[in-house]
A and B are shown apart, each in its own frame.
Chain A
Amino acid sequence: MIEARQVGRDYGAGRRKLTVLDGIDLGVARGEIVAITGPSGSGKSTLLGLLAGLDRPSRGRVAIAGTELASLDEDRLSSFRGRHIGFVFQSFQLLTTLSALENVRVPAELLGQRNVNAPASALLDRVGLADRAHHYPAQLSGGEMQRVAIARAVITSPPVILADEPTGNLDSTAGDAVLALLFELGADSAIVLVTHNPEIAARADREIKLRDGRVEDVVAHRRGAA
């Protein structure tokens, strides 16, 4: 589902050029969970941005569901993202002016889908927030906000879910619950998870360790072992 070949990313140019990612090869199949780990500055978030088409690689190619992202202009890339990728962020990134239910509906609405209230409500029910549907993000706890974000990420049943430190701002209990939900609701998607937490990485099928912008190691886990 996700295919990255010899992906590299430089910032700046000439003598001020800084290579933050280089020679990354990655393939993730539907139903597979891949964790990307590494110390700060190792290029984890940069790689996630490239896989999402939020950023463009300096070298190499990224394809999602067979579509090479570089071939899409900005508008098509946005629509493609809406259809194929679900996001979960460390800082939740809910739209503060929309209620929980409205936040969940957004990706489907942007795709032009109608009657999205029922599936959005059902998803909120599944993440245990049916009674908080009309609350605004400021009225929710961190764990609740992340559960809303997960519901939002899966409402269009995207083939890819990208999660950036999804439990980074949560305590361990809330983090566990959120991760369980993410894996459950995204069971049919290819999930790429950026984390610096080895316990969470161990719950993935595969862990790709980055250091200084390169793949240092690839470790296969038995999902749920940790």
Chain B
Amino acid sequence: MRPALALRYALAQTRRARGSLAFCVASIAVGVAALTAVHTLVAGVQESMTSEARTLLGADLSMSSNQPLEGGVAADLTAGLRRGGGETVDLVETQSMLVPVAAGRGPRLVKIRALRGRYPLYGSIATDPPGALDPARLAGAPRVVLHPDVARQLRLATGDKVKLGELELEVSGVLVPGPGSPASGFGFAPPVFIHADHLAATGLIRLGSRVDYLRLFRMPAGFDAEAWKEDNFQRAVDAHVGIRTSREAAASVQRFLDRLSRFLAVAGLAVLLLGALGVASATHAFVRKRLDSAAILRCLGATPREVFAVFALLVFGVGLTGSLIGAGLGALAPLALEGAVGRLGAQMLPTQIHLHLDLAAAARGLGAGILASSVFGLLPVVRIARVPPLRALRRDVEPPPWLARLRDAAILFGLLAAATGAILLLAAAETRSRSMTLYFAGAVGGAIALLALIARGAMVVTRRLAHRAPGYHLRQGLANLHRPGNQTTSVLVAIGLGTFLVGSLLVVARSIENVVAVELREDLPNVFLVDIQPADRADVEAMVHRAGAREVVVAPMIAARLAKVAGRPVNTHGIERDASRRTFDDSMRTREYFVTYRDAPVESEEVVAGTFWRGRPARQEVSLDQRLGENLGIHLDDVLTLDIQGLPLDAVVTSFRTIRWQAMRPNAMVVLSPGPIEQAPGMFIASFRVDQPDARARLAADLIAHHPNLSVIDLTEIAAQVRDILDRIALVVSGLALVILVTGAVILGGTVAATRATRVREAALLKVLGARRRDLGRILVTEYLALALLAVAAGGLLGQVATRLAMPIFFDAEASMPAGALAILAVGVVALNVGAALLIGRGVVRAPALQILRE
């Protein structure tokens, strides 16, 4: 058969089925639109970040260390870059409390950025009034430029007085949010700027304090920052100097976006697969009605391959149309919503989001849509290609011989394998992770299989028990569930899968909210004190106890590096050079640790190997985090040499632990036994709980008044910020969830449309037999209500089981059930589907009885 002829026949097949095929197109369009929109959004955000990479760092590259960058390798590298025409600015960063001098406000945790030189080296940072960041202006009398959040929360304005440590400063301006501005970023300690000359006067830089020294470089045009980093990387690592390029600075923010985008893409993919399932379901219903046409074509001389070609073209055409519409909508919708997207990302992203028409995203969505719809749609087409021509003559056609059945089964198996392959391929493309691909495919495949099983079970039960149901309407409505061609299985799977996905999202969101709801968790501390100097410890503890704090835990913290394991230096070769791709395991080999010491294990950890000492052992012992030990190849009884601010300390590894960081108790990956370490310079941190917000605020103010170098971290404030971010993410996820539910309703609508002719004929017959419109309506409502209720119950139950299993594994938290939201979901899904089905099937009850005579 010529392709043009096959195409013409395929087009002819759509003539009396455009209504039901429209649902097919809609199913796939919704999925492709969701996927394309997610990619357009993510690509837009990432491109905005990349285009402003230099502005984000404010330089071409940066050097950082926890030691001043004077002398040694840092000085050598700096000299070399300056010789090459580099311009520099130095920053010293530390966290502290900012206290307004006027009584009754604050304090507030901030990140102090002490500048020496013009900042930034690229772009400019707007301030109100303008020029507040000018180095000359900051260098005179002590002045500070505030982050707008700090100014707003503490009701501070230009000219007001604040204290940082022991130094009083005048507010010389406030940062204005904008592209690349530090005022647009998100953080628990918003930055404030002072001049480096005033840092010493704050008294915050003491032995053991957490301080970062940064040097930013602006290089002449043509300088290859990446190549320079490659050449000097190992030397810098060995000297504990970090190097980051502007590309990496943007990329590390992108990592967060990457994870979010993968999650969104997976949700989009779920919508697409649901749509593909809809195509399979609608095609199945369509093909049932076209079996006679296929048999006639066979009688007239068409081969099975030609019949297959006609219907495969039809399926492909439907997939292509739906995918084109979806890709168009998905590419354009985010542009229409650019303003809303910008507001959603405000304060989460350090840049303004510019979205544009992304052809790559559209092409990707188009490809995914065509692949999914073709593979899933072809499953029922195989059946029509094998239809015996004898069917045109008689209905009771003998089943084909076993060899033919075996061949058909093999073809079907091949297509199922292709469908599975398509799911895996799409999941792999979206997640770029083997484990996530398998999780996704397993979860979706498992959910579909279970829901299909439930649907089959429901059909068997209704077939056996429907006739016992009280009342004709209920009996007839339930009996319709196993009506031939009713697509009960696919509709139940579609609605059930939608309910499962949305219900699970709701449970996960609520559970995470509960995890961060520190104010509601009696078992967690809600205040952390950092940088308690040894001399201040007793007084700070006394103040904390006087304020009625509970569960006070104080722990010493000493900065140290891992120098040697069993006499061999820690191997820093082979770690990922790209900072944006560096893993936690990589950083374990180069980072500085805060180590602690104590005489016994604590509740928030579990000793998994060896024995944790009690009291004060004779030798210096050390207990390590299990993952740290595995990563560095450390074994029990190995001698670990720590570099404590230049002095070596040997300790024997006597145990490994797993730490529950979620318990929010002071802990450390490296814990030493009491002994010589006690003499090392360090500071203390403390955690405790004060329930009353007023008492907490008073205590914070008192502590800072007496000990200005302390940092007070109120976890309830951080939790509020996390919740704000979660709420924004939840908004995006809710949008996708809505799309999932709409897809389910579209599939149900498609099925109703596909079986409409049968229903109209049946309704006409029932009218001849005496049924009124009201009776027909009640039968329809019963059928759709039973189907939607069953799907919601099955999907909801699956969601419960899945989240109860998954939450402890992935979030170390119990699943919390948002009963109200789940109830609204259930009622909403049932109402949506029953409403959609009645709307599409509204002509059924109006079918004239005379029609039965015309048949």
Contact A78 B298 (CB under 8 A): yes
User: Which of A45, A52, A87, A96 lies in contact with B293, CB distance below 8 A?
Assistant: A96
User: Which of A11, A79, A93, A111 lies in contact with B299, CB distance below 8 A?
Assistant: A93
Question: Measured between alpha carbons, how far is A112 from B388 in the docked complex, in Å?
Answer: 22
Contact B16 A87 (CB under 8 A): no
Question: Measured between alpha carbons, how far is A52 from B389 in the docked complex, in Å?
Answer: 10
B830 → chain A closest CB, angstroms: 36
Chain B residues contacting A102 (CB-CB under 8 Å) are 12
Q: Does A75 contact B (CB under 8 A)?
A: yes
**CB nearest neighbor in A for B390:** A54
Chain B, range 1-51, C-beta contacts under 8 Å to A: 1-2, 5, 12-17
Q: Contacts A96-B16, A97-B293, A112-B2 known; A75 to B392 CB distance under 8 Å?
A: no
A212 → chain B closest CB, angstroms: 18
A163 → chain B closest CB, angstroms: 11
Q: Does B300 contact A (CB under 8 A)?
A: yes
Q: Does A152 contact B (CB under 8 A)?
A: yes
What 1/0 mask marks residues of chain B from 280 to 307 whose CB sits below 8 Å from any chain A CB? 0000000000001101111111111110
Chain A residues contacting B301 (CB-CB under 8 Å) are 78-79, 81-83, 107, 110-111
Chain B, range 688-724, C-beta contacts under 8 Å to A: none
Chain B residues contacting A81 (CB-CB under 8 Å) are 299-301, 389
Question: Measured between alpha carbons, how far is A55 from B396 in the docked complex, in Å?
Answer: 12
Question: Measured between alpha carbons, how far is A13 from B301 in the docked complex, in Å?
Answer: 30
Question: Measured between alpha carbons, how far is A109 from B303 in the docked complex, in Å?
Answer: 13
Contact A152 B300 (CB under 8 A): yes
Q: Does B603 contact A (CB under 8 A)?
A: no
What 1/0 mask marks residues of chain A from 59 to 97 whose CB sits below 8 Å from any chain B CB? 000000000000000110011011100010100011111
Question: Measured between alpha carbons, how far is A98 from B290 in the docked complex, in Å?
Answer: 13
A74 → chain B closest CB, angstroms: 6
**CB nearest neighbor in B for A112:** B2
Contact A78 B304 (CB under 8 A): yes
Q: Does A144 contact B (CB under 8 A)?
A: no
Question: Measured between alpha carbons, how far is A45 from B394 in the docked complex, in Å?
Answer: 8
**CB nearest neighbor in A for B296:** A93
Q: Does B393 contact A (CB under 8 A)?
A: yes
Contact A79 B392 (CB under 8 A): no
Contact B303 A93 (CB under 8 A): no
B5 → chain A closest CB, angstroms: 6
A2 → chain B closest CB, angstroms: 17
Contact A79 B389 (CB under 8 A): no
Chain B, range 364-409, C-beta contacts under 8 Å to A: 388-390, 392-394, 398
B: contact size bracket: 20 to 34
Q: Contacts A81-B301, A82-B300, A107-B300 known; A49 to B5 CB distance under 8 Å?
A: no
Contact A75 B297 (CB under 8 A): no
Chain B residues contacting A11 (CB-CB under 8 Å) are 398
Chain A residues contacting B295 (CB-CB under 8 Å) are 93
Q: Does A164 contact B (CB under 8 A)?
A: yes
| Number of residues on chain A facing chain B (CB within 8 A) | 32
Chain A residues contacting B297 (CB-CB under 8 Å) are 95, 106, 110
Question: Measured between alpha carbons, how far is A49 from B17 in the docked complex, in Å?
Answer: 30
Chain A residues contacting B1 (CB-CB under 8 Å) are 110, 112
Chain A residues contacting B13 (CB-CB under 8 Å) are 97
Question: Measured between alpha carbons, how far is A82 from B388 in the docked complex, in Å?
Answer: 15
Contact A110 B390 (CB under 8 A): no
Contact A106 B300 (CB under 8 A): yes
Q: Contacts A89-B393, A97-B293, A112-B2 known; A54 to B15 CB distance under 8 Å?
A: no
Question: Measured between alpha carbons, how far is A77 from B1 in the docked complex, in Å?
Answer: 15
Q: Contacts A82-B300, A93-B296, A96-B293 known; A75 to B393 CB distance under 8 Å?
A: no
Chain B residues contacting A54 (CB-CB under 8 Å) are 299, 388-390, 392-393
Contact B393 A49 (CB under 8 A): yes
Question: Measured between alpha carbons, how far is A94 from B394 in the docked complex, in Å?
Answer: 15
Chain B residues contacting A97 (CB-CB under 8 Å) are 12-17, 293
Chain A residues contacting B303 (CB-CB under 8 Å) are 74-75, 78-79
Q: Contacts A45-B394, A102-B12 known; A52 to B304 CB distance under 8 Å?
A: no
**CB nearest neighbor in A for B301:** A82
Question: Measured between alpha carbons, how far is A161 from B421 in the docked complex, in Å?
Answer: 47
Question: Measured between alpha carbons, how far is A55 from B397 in the docked complex, in Å?
Answer: 9
Chain A residues contacting B393 (CB-CB under 8 Å) are 45, 48-49, 52, 54, 89, 164
What 1/0 mask marks residues of chain B from 742 to 753 whose CB sits below 8 Å from any chain A CB? 000000000000
Chain B residues contacting A112 (CB-CB under 8 Å) are 1-2
A151 → chain B closest CB, angstroms: 13
Q: Contacts A93-B299, A96-B293, A98-B12 known; A109 to B5 CB distance under 8 Å?
A: yes
Chain B residues contacting A87 (CB-CB under 8 Å) are 299-300, 392
Question: Measured between alpha carbons, how far is A87 from B14 in the docked complex, in Å?
Answer: 25
Q: Which of A48, A78, A106, A112 has the most CB of B within 10 A?
A: A78
Chain B residues contacting A95 (CB-CB under 8 Å) are 12, 293, 296-297
Question: Measured between alpha carbons, how far is A55 from B398 in the docked complex, in Å?
Answer: 9
User: Which of B293, B299, B305, B394 lies in contact with A75, CB distance below 8 A?
Assistant: B305
Question: Measured between alpha carbons, how far is A87 from B297 in the docked complex, in Å?
Answer: 11
Question: Measured between alpha carbons, how far is A49 from B398 in the docked complex, in Å?
Answer: 12
Question: Measured between alpha carbons, how far is A71 from B574 in the docked complex, in Å?
Answer: 70
What 1/0 mask marks residues of chain A from 127 to 160 whose CB sits below 8 Å from any chain B CB? 0000000001000000000000000100000000
What 1/0 mask marks residues of chain A from 11 to 45 whose CB sits below 8 Å from any chain B CB? 10000000000000000000000000000000001
Chain B residues contacting A74 (CB-CB under 8 Å) are 303-304
Question: Measured between alpha carbons, how far is A10 from B300 in the docked complex, in Å?
Answer: 26
Chain A, range 99-137, C-beta contacts under 8 Å to B: 102, 106-107, 109-112, 136
Question: Measured between alpha carbons, how far is A107 from B9 in the docked complex, in Å?
Answer: 12
Contact A93 B292 (CB under 8 A): yes
Chain A residues contacting B16 (CB-CB under 8 Å) are 96-97, 136
Question: Measured between alpha carbons, how far is A136 from B17 in the docked complex, in Å?
Answer: 14
Contact B390 A49 (CB under 8 A): yes
Contact A49 B394 (CB under 8 A): yes
**CB nearest neighbor in B for A92:** B296
Chain B residues contacting A48 (CB-CB under 8 Å) are 393
**CB nearest neighbor in A for B305:** A75
Chain B residues contacting A75 (CB-CB under 8 Å) are 303-305
What 1/0 mask marks residues of chain A from 188 to 215 whose CB sits below 8 Å from any chain B CB? 0000000000000000000000000000
Chain A residues contacting B390 (CB-CB under 8 Å) are 49, 54-55
Chain A residues contacting B306 (CB-CB under 8 Å) are 78, 110
Question: Measured between alpha carbons, how far is A83 from B300 in the docked complex, in Å?
Answer: 9
B287 → chain A closest CB, angstroms: 14
Q: Which of A106, A112, A136 has the most CB of B within 10 A?
A: A106
B314 → chain A closest CB, angstroms: 11
What 1/0 mask marks residues of chain B from 295 to 331 whose CB sits below 8 Å from any chain A CB? 1111111111110000000000000000000000000
Chain A residues contacting B17 (CB-CB under 8 Å) are 97
**CB nearest neighbor in A for B302:** A110
Question: Measured between alpha carbons, how far is A100 from B393 in the docked complex, in Å?
Answer: 21
**CB nearest neighbor in A for B404:** A74
Chain B residues contacting A55 (CB-CB under 8 Å) are 388, 390
Q: Which of B1, B16, B17, B301 has the most CB of A within 10 A?
A: B301
**CB nearest neighbor in B for A94:** B296
Contact A89 B304 (CB under 8 A): no
The 7 closest A-B pairs by CB, nearest first: A82-B301, A54-B390, A78-B303, A75-B303, A97-B15, A110-B301, A97-B12
Sample of 28 A–B contacts (CB below 8 Å): A11-B398, A49-B390, A49-B393, A54-B388, A54-B392, A74-B304, A75-B305, A78-B302, A78-B304, A79-B303, A81-B301, A81-B389, A82-B300, A83-B301, A87-B299, A93-B295, A94-B296, A95-B296, A95-B297, A96-B293, A97-B14, A97-B16, A97-B17, A107-B300, A110-B297, A110-B300, A110-B306, A111-B301
A96-B293, A106-B300, A110-B1 are known; give 13 further A-B pairs, CB within 8 A.
A11-B398, A45-B394, A49-B390, A54-B388, A54-B389, A55-B388, A75-B304, A78-B306, A87-B392, A93-B292, A95-B293, A96-B16, A97-B12
**Residues of A participating in the B interface, judged by any CB pair closer than 8 Å:** 11, 45, 48-49, 52, 54-55, 74-75, 78-79, 81-83, 87, 89, 93-98, 102, 106-107, 109-112, 136, 152, 164
